[in-house]
């Protein structure tokens, strides 16, 4: 279970990457450093040292940013696999592995759900990455 302090840090870091304007994100990074810099210098310094690379994401509309930074799909997949494997450290036979395969098959059916605002996102990708996307557009 995460500690209250870890939850506070995560809540305080969200404005750094969720804002739509780079200057506001950088200001949020300074505020994060003031509050947590002594306790967590390494990750904050890493964000600062790599800001030019991270700031690229501010160039995209909010819907695209959500696609870039969300991990919900990955977290959901791992949670579903943990449900199936929670009491097992070993898989002694093919039946045990079959159970994992069947879980994967059931989980993968949910992957057909489209990404929210996909039509808008794809139109933005086609404008921004025109030459790179043309080979994939039918």
Task: Tell me how many degrees the CA angle 65-67-68 measures, rounded to the nearest 5.
Answer: 65
CB atoms < 10 A from the CB of 129, how many? 11
Smallest CA-to-CA distance from 16 within 120, 76, 129, 37 is with 37
pTM score:
0.59
Domain definitions of the chain by residue range: 4-58, 65-136
Give the whole-number percent of the chain exceeding pLDDT 70. 89
35: Cβ contacts below 8 Å, ≥ 6 apart: 12
Between 1 and 92, name the one with better pLDDT: 92
pLDDT(23) > 70: yes
Cα–Cα dist 72/105, whole Å: 19
């Amino acid at each position: 279970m995460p500690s209250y302090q870890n939850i506070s840090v995560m809540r305080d870091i969200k404005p750094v990457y969720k804002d739509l304007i780079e200057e506001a994100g950088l200001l949020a990074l300074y505020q994060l450093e003031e509050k947590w810099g002594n306790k967590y210098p390494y990750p904050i310094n890493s964000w600062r040292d790599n800001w030019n690379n991270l700031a690229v994401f501010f160039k995209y509309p909010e819907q695209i940013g959500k696609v870039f930074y969300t991990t919900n799909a990955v977290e959901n997949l791992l949670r579903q696999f943990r449900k199936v494997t929670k009491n097992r450290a070993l898989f002694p036979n093919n039946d045990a592995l079959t159970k994992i395969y069947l879980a994967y098959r059931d989980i993968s059916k949910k992957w057909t759900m489209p990404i929210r605002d996909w039509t808008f996102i794809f139109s933005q990708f086609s404008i921004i990455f025109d030459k790179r996307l043309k080979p994939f557009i039918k």
